Amino acid sequence: MPATTGSEQTQTVDQPRHPLHALTTFELHGYRRQLENAIKFFDAKDPVPAVRADLQAALDGVIAEQDDRRNLADS
């Protein structure tokens, strides 16, 4: 069986065990990193898979949660 290169491997994102508001800052950061990497992976595909939109929606939620936390910390 031939070896697969990094560009041939599929990208997965582990769903967090808890809702976004219940994640620690570290967990939220890790989840965001996974989503960003998966989006980057799927953006390189032609055509871009439909799952990319779901990943973007999840990333938007993570960014909103991080912004809310930052705003709370600043007030």
- Band of residue 11 on the pLDDT scale cut at 50, 70, 90: confident
The range of the structural domain enclosing residue 54 comes to 20-74
Assigned domain for 13 exists = no
Segment 17-71, tens digit of pLDDT: 999 999 999 999 999 999 999 999 999 999 999 999 999 999 999 999 999 999 9
Assigned domain for 14 exists = no
Assigned domain for 61 exists = yes
**C-alpha distance from residue 58 to each of 1, 8, 41, 53, 74 (Å):** 35, 24, 16, 9, 25
Q: Is the pTM of this model over 0.95?
A: no
Helix (H, G, I), strand (E, B) or coil at 33: helix
Number of domains in the chain: 1
Assigned domain for 48 exists = yes
User: What is the phi/psi pair of residue 57, to 5°?
Assistant: -65, -40
**C-alpha distance from residue 68 to each of 6, 22, 49, 58 (Å):** 35, 13, 30, 15
Assigned domain for 15 exists = no
Which residue shows structure tokens 């997965």? 12
